[in-house]
Amino acid sequence: MSTHIAAAPGEIAPIVLFPGDPLRAKWIAENFLEGANLYSEVRGMLGFTGSWNGHRVSVQGSGMGQPSMSIYANELFDSYEVQTIVRVGSCGGLTEKVAMRDIIIANGACTDSGINRQRFHGLDYAPVADFSLLRAAVEASEALPLANTVHVGLLYSSDQFYSTRPELTEPLVAHGVLGVEMETSGLYTLAAYYGRRALAVCTVSDHLVTHEETTAQEREQTFGDMIEIALRAAVS
Ligand code: HPA
């Protein structure tokens, strides 16, 4: 048992899928894992362990934003010796290079968060994906018959869902950023600190240029492809 996760030692698998939404964690456990058992529901942040293609896999909700996600990632790495975390989430499209329901495999993430500035005494650290996971995710996406288009590129992990700084979009997009979400920069930084593997795979669920949004049913279908990519990469 760690401070925010009620699992006994060994109850969490070395491989964890990490959605923001705890009910998405339940949906993944029910639809993708065999024999999934709930190991924690502290604060409603559900976590399950089951198996996928013969590999033990856990799925743990992270909550939204780097402060919440960091609590769970720290405890997974530090108290449960998790080796691999793959974030499976949604993001907003920042450019017409990505369409609704496209999948972004994040090779790195920038942020407006103060967390890394505190951690590195003002220096701009570059949080990047684990290369073996990145490569495996790209290979998985090439091998699958996907309804979605897949991109490899940068995410912007913002501290604000309701942005007060729309002027940031243009320079970010001009420098290769494809989508906005709220967690990946912190996850990549913590994985580097603990010497473990992390990757974020996100589906474009709303679009800041075209102002489209997905329905719940569309999200379910397209999220399935993202989970399949994440699982194949995670067990690699
Ligand atoms: N902004 C921030 N985070 C998000 C978004 C967004 O538009 N969509 C999904 N996560």
Could you report the average pLDDT of every consecutive run of 10 residues in the chain (236 residues)? 95 98 96 98 98 98 98 98 98 96 97 95 96 98 90 98 93 97 98 98 95 79 90 97
The fold of 15-234 is Rossmann fold (3.40.50)
Give the CA distances from residue 1 to residues 8, 11, 50, 78, 232, in Å, rounded to whole numbers and listed in that order.
5, 10, 19, 12, 29
Q: Global pTM?
A: 0.97
* Confidence at residue 206, expressed as pLDDT on a 0 to 100 scale: 94
Per DSSP, helices labelled H in 120-183 are 131-143, 169-174
- Residue nearest (by alpha carbon) to ligand 1 atom 6: 92
Cα 52 to ligand 1 centre (Å): 29
Give the residue among 62, 66, 91 at the shortest CA–CA distance from 177. Answer: 91
In the chain, the N- to C-terminal Cα span, in Å, equals 28
The confidence score (pLDDT) of residue 148 equals 81
- Tell me the pairing of strands 34-40 and 150-157: unpaired
Q: Given the CA of residue 182, which atom of ligand 1 is nearest to it?
A: 3
159 is annotated as an active-site residue: no
Residue 214: predicted pLDDT:
81
Residue nearest ligand 1's atom 4 by CA: 181
DSSP 8-state symbol, 224: H
